[in-house]
Amino acid sequence: MGLIAPLAALLGLEVEGLTARAKSAILVYGLVGLFSLVAVGFLLAAGYMALADIVGPIYSALIFAGTFLLLALAVYLGSLIGRSKRQREVAQKRRASETSALITTAAITALPIVARSPLFLKVGLPLAAVAAFAFLRDTPQDGDRD
């Protein structure tokens, strides 16, 4: 019991330190984000003013609006392409899982019929044991993965 109080105090200090670092990081990254947004706003304003000197204010506003609409469309189309790719991957995984379940069900259903065969007892059972041993030997354990 005498060891619990110092350990709790040590843990409390660590939690306080983590909380202080997290607050500091949130403050710093929040300010960096805010100042970056202000900088982007001024860059856009400067670009608009420079373009307005060249082509006029109306055409400059139209060019900026068209450019940002094209960027929005490109982002939207990119998200659609990414979403369709993810949906295809999910469908492929589901198909593979269903196929595996069907093959397993068929094998389990056929096992009692095949198990009655004397040839299976002489040849198939030892082969199944060797295959199971080889499979288990080649399967990486939790600590063996790279």
Confidence tier at 21 by pLDDT (50, 70, 90) = confident
Angle (deg, nearest 10), helices 4-55 and 57-115: 130
Confidence tier at 116 by pLDDT (50, 70, 90) = confident
State whether the Cα torsion 95-99-100-101 is positive or negative. Answer: positive
- pLDDT at res. 143: 52
Euclidean distance between CA atoms 57 and 48, whole angstroms: 8
| Residue carrying the six token digits 């991957």 | 89
Euclidean distance between CA atoms 49 and 28, whole angstroms: 31
